[in-house]
């Protein structure tokens, strides 16, 4: 069957499913209308189209979680949020990629932090775009809600939102005096403190909201001195400790401080100014990392025979693959004396200002200006042993400036809603530190780096919604983007001090492109409680430059990935909003895929190549169901199926060790389900007790495009539980939470290190408990 026929068959089949789901509801038109008027407490408001709308009347596949919902699920950062959202994977990056959130939506994502590459899912904090994976492990500090938009957002959220967008919306200052404090104590000496105060400085004119947080937790992976613990297997390697349990430290510990100040000025009705400053200081220890297995290769066998055994008396082999919660990483290179700390830090400073001006009763102008700085250091001893094989030290910095102008209005007595605007972005980044790979090349590879990356984006967009009738709406959007990226490679061999590249530092050819993105859609409100929609949209993930060349010839640019997506959906509510069912089905053509491969070249040098090769089709279906069976009783469930099929691989077809036509997308389980339930028991004169249980399941997940069996994570299920007591006046609460209730073991991510003989991973956190006390004033 051809791609076009498969597309038609898929959409037709899902259309029948959606119509069948809608049919029994239409007969309830009159009752539903009365019910909607009578019951408003379950309405969810979102702003995914830059205007506040009811979630059930927004023709998008979108999930919104309020701050209360995030807290009740024991979700601590943005990487946790994706568990309960269909077709979405948000996870912490591996140790070699620092403080990054790897985001995948509907089979499209990005894992590598390097600033030469672009994310495939856009992160936005209060409508300010965050342009790098590094620094995207956002703490959920004083949030109003999180919105996750699935599918390309190529017109309104244009830059690198090919897979979708994650929006964090903060609480704004109000004219009410209020404050809160919260403390959490738990496993691994966890101690979290949070506080907020909202101050109305001038009645109805000026308000200030200040929030702060501190997070402290010990590591859960033990660093053990191998020669101390196993002297009979250590050969000539000398221990650094000689007594006790041979433990020299831990990995995975946290130490974070964050603060946010927001000032809201409303001098008169037409004008509103919001100024925000955020700061974070993260001095956490190295990310949890351990050795999964070792696969002997010709290069490793040669290195063992020629270097390791003659010098240290032992080879690098499976003796170092031990308990996943133990690592023998020493963070030093015995071959050259290089020593680095086990660290994973991130410092950020963000400043933004939004000016909203009502030009008339039907026209609003917004200006959003932001400047952000991020820096950090993260290290990895990838062989997880005391032997010299792979040690990396990354000192990175990134700063960006964004300016967006947005004009919104209505025309023809509300029959036409429109949004138009322009967006400007520029960034400068540096990657310093050093790389020590003594097992690579004829004499090993050890160098320091001072690479510099710059990027720019200029775009303009228009988005129009027409209402030809009370029930029918038509949507059209267009965005033009002009983007460029440059990379200067500056690396020095150590300890010789000679240039790493034969001709010295150089600037690679610039990556440039421009394109148009489109959106066309229609939605119909069959009743007050039933809406269906259909849409076609496009998106892209920006091009870049191969960031890890070993010769200047390999430092080549690559182009953007592109997506053409077709989607139909249903938004429905029954029985006085006591049942909410939302469905979405999609079919996407994914072209110019940016595929990368880790391996060794003919000179035994690590070879990491990124190129635009091939195309794929992605199709799937998503469902979200919420039930309110009784007052205080809530059941939430979701599920998704994703089918990813590569159609061709272009120049990569048949390359040894590369992807095949049977390869599946990394970071994307075929099946995903979640279930959450809570019930509030009100006790007269005592308060309320709310137990909650959450269950999350995902099928097996691949971690790279070759689908290497040793880098596959089998399917698993996780469970969290929480019980909360609220005082009669709801001014204080006490909650006991347990995460990973059944102590399920899995790897958050698995990684094949350069050379292909070392497989590492981030082990899951074990079962943990926490006790949280909160007081509102």
Buried b (16+ CB within 10 A) or exposed e, 157-195: bbbbbbbbbbbbbbbbbebeeeebebebebbbebebebb
Q: Do the Cβ atoms of 57 and 669 come closer than 8 Å?
A: no
CATH: 3.40.50.300, 1.20.1250.20, 3.40.50.150, 2.40.170.20. Which one for 3-776?
Answer: 2.40.170.20
Alpha carbon distance 627, 639 (integer Å)? 15
Give the pLDDT mean for 673-684.
95
Provide CB contacts within 8 A for 190, sequence distance 6+. Answer: 184, 216, 217, 218, 768, 770
> Residue 731 — φ and ψ, nearest 5°?
-100, -10
Confidence check: pLDDT of 53 > 70: yes
Confidence check: pLDDT of 687 > 60: yes
Place 60 in a pLDDT band, splitting at 50, 70 and 90. Answer: very high
pLDDT in tens, 587-616: 999 999 988 755 544 455 555 678 888 899
Looking at every residue in the chain, the average pLDDT score rounds to 90
For residue 244, count other CB atoms closer than 10 A to its CB: 8
Alpha carbon distance 513, 415 (integer Å)? 36
pLDDT in tens, 463-481: 999 999 999 999 999 999 9
CA-wise closest residue to 42 among 576, 662, 734:
576
pLDDT for the residue 706: 86
Give the pLDDT mean for 367-380.
96
pLDDT in tens, 184-243: 999 999 999 999 999 999 998 999 999 999 999 999 999 999 999 999 999 999 999 987
pLDDT for the residue 299: 85
Distance between terminal CA atoms of the chain?
A: 64
pLDDT in tens, 531-566: 999 999 999 999 999 998 888 888 889 999 999 999
Concatenated DSSP letters of 453-502: EEEEEEEEEEEEEE-SSSSEEEEEEEEEEEEEEEEEE-EEETTT--BSST
Alpha carbon distance 516, 409 (integer Å)? 23
pLDDT in tens, 291-332: 999 988 888 999 999 999 999 999 999 999 999 999 999 999
pLDDT in tens, 102-148: 999 999 999 899 999 999 999 999 999 999 999 998 888 899 999 99
Residue spans per domain, the chain? 3-776
pLDDT for the residue 1: 47
Alpha carbon distance 167, 158 (integer Å)? 13
Entry pTM: 0.91
pLDDT for the residue 35: 34
Alpha carbon distance 687, 698 (integer Å)? 37
CA 356, 359, 365, 369: dihedral to nearest 10 degrees? -50
pLDDT in tens, 428-456: 999 999 999 888 767 788 999 999 999 99
Alpha carbon distance 92, 315 (integer Å)? 32
Confidence check: pLDDT of 27 > 50: no
The tokens for 488 are 């200067």
């Amino acid at each position: 069957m051809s791609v076009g026929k498969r597309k038609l068959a898929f959409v037709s089949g899902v259309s029948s499913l959606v119509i069948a789901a809608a049919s029994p509801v239409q007969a309830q038109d009159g009752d539903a209308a009365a019910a909607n008027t009578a019951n408003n407490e379950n309405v969810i408001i979102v702003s995914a189209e830059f205007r506040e709308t009811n979630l059930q009347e927004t023709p998008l596949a979108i999930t919104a979680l309020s701050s209360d919902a995030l807290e009740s699920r024991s979700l601590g950062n943005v990487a946790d949020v994706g568990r309960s959202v269909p077709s979405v994977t948000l996870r912490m990056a591996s140790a070699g990629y620092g403080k990054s959130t790897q985001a995948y939506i509907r089979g499209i994502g990005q894992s590598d932090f390097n600033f030469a590459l672009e994310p495939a899912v856009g992160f936005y904090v209060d409508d300010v775009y965050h342009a790098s994976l590094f620094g995207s492990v956002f703490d959920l500090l004083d949030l109003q809600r999180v919105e996750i938009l699935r599918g390309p957002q190529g017109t309104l959220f244009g830059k690198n939102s090919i897979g979708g967008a994650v929006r964090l919306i903060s609480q704004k200052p109000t004219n009410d005096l209020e404050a809160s404090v919260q403390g959490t104590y738990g496993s691994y000496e966890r101690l979290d403190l949070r506080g907020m105060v909202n101050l109305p400085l001038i009645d109805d004119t000026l308000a200030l909201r200040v929030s702060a947080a501190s997070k402290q937790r010990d590591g859960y992976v033990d660093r053990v001195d191998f020669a101390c613990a196993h002297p009979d297997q250590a050969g000539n390697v000398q221990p650094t400790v000689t007594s006790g349990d041979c433990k020299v430290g831990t990995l995975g510990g946290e130490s974070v401080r964050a603060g946010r100040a927001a000032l809201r000025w409303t001098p008169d009705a037409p004008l509103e100014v919001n100024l925000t400053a955020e700061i974070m200081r993260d001095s956490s220890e190295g990310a949890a990392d351990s050795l999964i297995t070792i696969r002997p290769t010709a290069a490793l066998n040669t290195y063992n025979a020629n270097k390791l055994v003659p010098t240290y008396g032992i080879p690098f082999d499976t003796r170092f693959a031990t308990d996943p919660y133990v690592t023998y990483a020493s963070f030093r290179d015995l071959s050259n004396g290089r020593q680095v700390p086990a660290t994973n830090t991130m410092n950020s400073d963000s400043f933004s200002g939004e000016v909203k001006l009502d030009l008339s009763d039907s026209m609003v102008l917004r200006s959003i200006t932001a400047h952000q700085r991020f820096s950090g250091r993260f290290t990895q001893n990838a062989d997880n042993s005391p032997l010299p094989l792979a040690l990396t030290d990354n000192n990175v910095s990134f700063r960006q400036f964004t300016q967006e102008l947005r004009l919104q209005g209505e025309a023809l007595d509300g029959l036409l809603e429109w949004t138009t605007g322009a967006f400007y972005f520029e960034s400068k980044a540096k990657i310093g530190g050093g790389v020590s790979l003594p097992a690579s090349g004829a004499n090993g590879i050890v160098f320091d780096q001072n690479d510099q990356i710059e990027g720019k984006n200029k775009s303009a967009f228009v988005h129009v919604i027409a209402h030809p009738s009370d029930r029918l709406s038509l949507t059209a959007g267009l965005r033009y983007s002009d983007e460029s990226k440059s990379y200067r490679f500056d690396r020095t061999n150590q300890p010789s001090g000679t240039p790493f590249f034969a001709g010295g530092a150089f600037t690679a050819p610039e990556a440039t492109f421009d394109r148009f993105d489109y959106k066309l859609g229609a939605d119909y409100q069959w009743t007050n409680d039933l809406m269906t929609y259909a849409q076609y949209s496009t998106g892209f993930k920006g091009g870049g430059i191969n960031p890890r060349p070993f010769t200047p010839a390999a430092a080549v640019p690559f182009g953007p990935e592109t997506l053409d997506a077709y989607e139909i959906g249903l938004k429905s509510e029954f029985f006085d909003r006591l049942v909410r069912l939302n469905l979405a089905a999609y079919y996407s053509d994914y072209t110019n895929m940016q595929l990368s491969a880790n391996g060794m070249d003919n000179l035994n040098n690590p070879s990491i190549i990124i190129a635009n090769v091939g195309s794929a089709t992605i199709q799937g279906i998503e469902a979200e169901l919420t039930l309110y069976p009784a007052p205080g009783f809530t059941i939430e469930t979701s599920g998704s199926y994703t089918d990813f099929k590569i159609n061709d691989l272009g120049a990569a077809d048949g390359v040894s060790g590369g992807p095949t036509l049977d390869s599946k997308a990394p970071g994307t389980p075929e099946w995903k389900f979640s279930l959450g339930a809570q019930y509030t028991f009100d006790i007269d004169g005592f308060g309320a007790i709310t137990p909650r249980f959450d269950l999350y399941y995902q099928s097996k997940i691949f971690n790279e495009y070759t689908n290497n069996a040793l880098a596959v994570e089998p399917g698993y299920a996780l469970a969290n539980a929480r019980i909360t007591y609220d005082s009669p006046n709801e001014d204080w609460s006490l909650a006991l939470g347990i995460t990973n209730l059944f102590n399920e073991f899995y790897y958050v991510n698995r990684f094949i290190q350069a050379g292909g003989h070392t497989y590492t991973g981030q082990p899951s956190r074990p079962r943990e408990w926490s006790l949280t006390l909160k007081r509102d004033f």
